[in-house]
Structure 1
Amino acid sequence: MSCRAGCGACCIAPSITSPIPGMPEGKPAGVRCLQLDEDNLCQLFGDSSRPAVCRRFDYDRELCSDNREQALRILTEWELATR
């Protein structure tokens, strides 16, 4: 399976410590990435300026589960567990 279009959970729940265009210090956990558009799609997808950590993140059934709400909950739990 591939990423669910319009999910965006991986662009909200985890912290990202590398620079993101418009967010030079990265982003804290739970903060919506500035590059996530109103349809919850990454505006940098396929762009060389997309952070490496974002390029490496891919759909994983264990993390993304069956819907966006579950993905947000699971990713938030994992973020809290890895602090």
Structure 2
Amino acid sequence: MSDADIDDDFDDEFADDDDAKMVEEAETSVRTRLSSLEKRRLIDNLLEEKRLARELKDELDDIDDFDEDGDDDWDDDI
């Protein structure tokens, strides 16, 4: 094997290292982005659940207020 062949093989190794670093950085970036998206999705779901719970509580409070006013005549029909 000549010296030129050895030098060429050595240069290719560094090019592969650069490519490997770029691939690793891209994978890390994708994982970070997916992790961020997953966290955002979980936060959105939690906020939606809280909104629905608040809505349900408000509706139940309205029903309680309705009964306390003595407007439960509709129960007498049964």
Query: What interval of TM-score do these two structures reach, taking the shorter chain for normalisation?
Result: under 0.3
Where relative contact order (Cα < 8 A, 6+ residues apart) is larger, the structure is 1
Instruction: Give 1 or 2: higher helix fraction.
Output: 2
TM-score normalised to structure 1 length: 0.20
